[in-house]
Amino acid sequence: MPTEFKPGCARPTGGPVGEGPAKNAAPKTTIQEKPREASMIKVGKKAPDFTAPAYLKGGFVSVQLSEYLGKWVVLCFYPGDFTFV
Amino acid sequence: MSIDSVFVHKMWNDHELSKMVEGGVPYPMLSDAGGKVGTLYGIYDEDAGVETRGRFIIDPDGVVQGYEVLTPPVGRNVAESLRQIQAFQLVRQSKGTEATPSGWKPGKTTLKPGPDLVGKVWEVWKTSMAFD
């Protein structure tokens, strides 16, 4: 499950796991009308996997969503620490 | 998960949240610098540079069963999230033979969709059950 890491001075970051949106391999002249914005998640479809650094009970750990396969997961986003509600 | 660093998460937990929840937050407080994961989930507000209040219920197969997204000033209802999880768990356990009608809570009647129930829901489910 979550693995501990020693934080350095750089802000630890994570991100999507697996092939993301294909990096523009096509020549620039190709017309690409595809909107850059990711579409909204769909219910009944797989949750995109990601890794993220986390604070957990006194330590810093690295978490990957797919480590939680076999369990129910509630993933909550919020605007920021110390925001009021 | 928010755009704050794990260091800020620690400060918030240690100085405020641990005063609300004994022992502090028991689950990982995830950091999403730049909103990369939030963008992936469609809840990152690029203009404000923060994530909106998105909540996703993910089942043991990694499938999104439900989500709710609120703008920053309105908080979530944890009891409703728990109710939904209980409902999804019941449906999963029944292997899809049961469904939870509007207003369902643990202990209340479920529906067993099938040919015999078509046009007969009114007999087993009353609108008052959506509110009690």
The pLDDT of residue A31 is 60
For residue A16 the two structure tokens come to: 């999507």
Q: What are phi and psi for residue B111, nearest 5 degrees?
A: -110, 145
pLDDT tens figures, B2-61? 999 999 999 999 999 999 999 999 999 999 999 999 999 999 999 999 999 999 999 999
Q: Tell whether B14 is covered by a domain.
A: yes
Q: Tell whether B35 is covered by a domain.
A: yes
Domain count, chain B: 1
The pLDDT of residue B119 is 95
Q: Tell whether B32 is covered by a domain.
A: yes
Residue B73, SS3 per DSSP = coil
Q: What are phi and psi for residue B69, nearest 5 degrees?
A: -130, 125
Please state, in angstroms and rounded to a whole number, the distance separating the CA atoms of residues A62 and B126: 48
pLDDT tens figures, B57-96? 999 999 999 999 999 999 999 999 999 999 999 999 999 8
- A38 vs B31: CB contact, 8 Å cut-off? no
Residues in chain A, total:
85
Q: Tell whether B34 is covered by a domain.
A: yes
Residue ranges covered by each domain of chain A: 1-8+49-85
Please state, in angstroms and rounded to a whole number, the distance separating the CA atoms of residues B132 and A46: 34
- B54 vs A47: CB contact, 8 Å cut-off? no
- A7 vs B11: CB contact, 8 Å cut-off? no
The pLDDT of residue A29 is 58
Domain that holds residue B42: 1-51
Q: Tell whether B37 is covered by a domain.
A: yes
| Residue B25 Cα distances to A36, A77, B14, B78, angstroms | 36, 15, 9, 15
B59 touching A (Cβ < 8 Å): yes
